[in-house]
Structure 1
Amino acid sequence: MAALTHPQLEQLTRKLKADYQALLREVRDELENSGNQHRIDLLNSEPGDAGDESMANALADFNLTILDRHIDGMRDIEAALQRIKNGEYGVCIDCGDEVGFTRLQAYPTAKRCIVCQEQREKHYAQEGHPKM
Structure 2
Amino acid sequence: MASIKPSQLNDFKDRLTQRHGELVEAIHEELQRSEDKERFLELAGGVHDPGEESVADLLVDLNLTITEGHVRDLAEIEDALRRIDQGSYGICIDCGIDIGVDRLDAYPSAARCIDCQAKRERLYAHEQKPTL
Query: TM exceeds 0.5?
Result: yes
Aligned residue runs from structure 1 range 107-122, under 5 A: 107-122=107-122
Show structure 1 runs of 4+ deviating over 6 A. Answer: none
SS of 2:45's equivalent in the other structure is coil
TM-score under structure 1 length normalisation: 0.85
* C-alpha deviation, 1:50, in angstroms: 2.6
* C-alpha deviation, 1:57, in angstroms: 1.7
Larger Rg: 1
Structure 2 residue aligned with 1:86: 86
Aligned residue runs from structure 1 range 6-17, under 5 A: 6-17=6-17
* C-alpha deviation, 1:71, in angstroms: 1.1
Structure 2 residue aligned with 1:30: 30
Aligned residue pairs total 128
Structure 2 residue aligned with 1:41: 41
- d(CA) in 2 for partners of 1:126, 1:49: 37
The residue type equivalent to 1:90 in the other structure is G
* C-alpha deviation, 1:93, in angstroms: 1.1
* C-alpha deviation, 1:88, in angstroms: 0.9
TM-score under structure 2 length normalisation: 0.85
The residue type equivalent to 1:42 in the other structure is E
Aligned residue runs from structure 1 range 36-115, under 5 A: 36-115=36-115
- d(CA) in 2 for partners of 1:118, 1:48: 47
List runs of 5+ in structure 2 lacking aligned partners.
Answer: none
Relative contact order (C-alpha < 8 Å, sep 6+): which is higher?
2
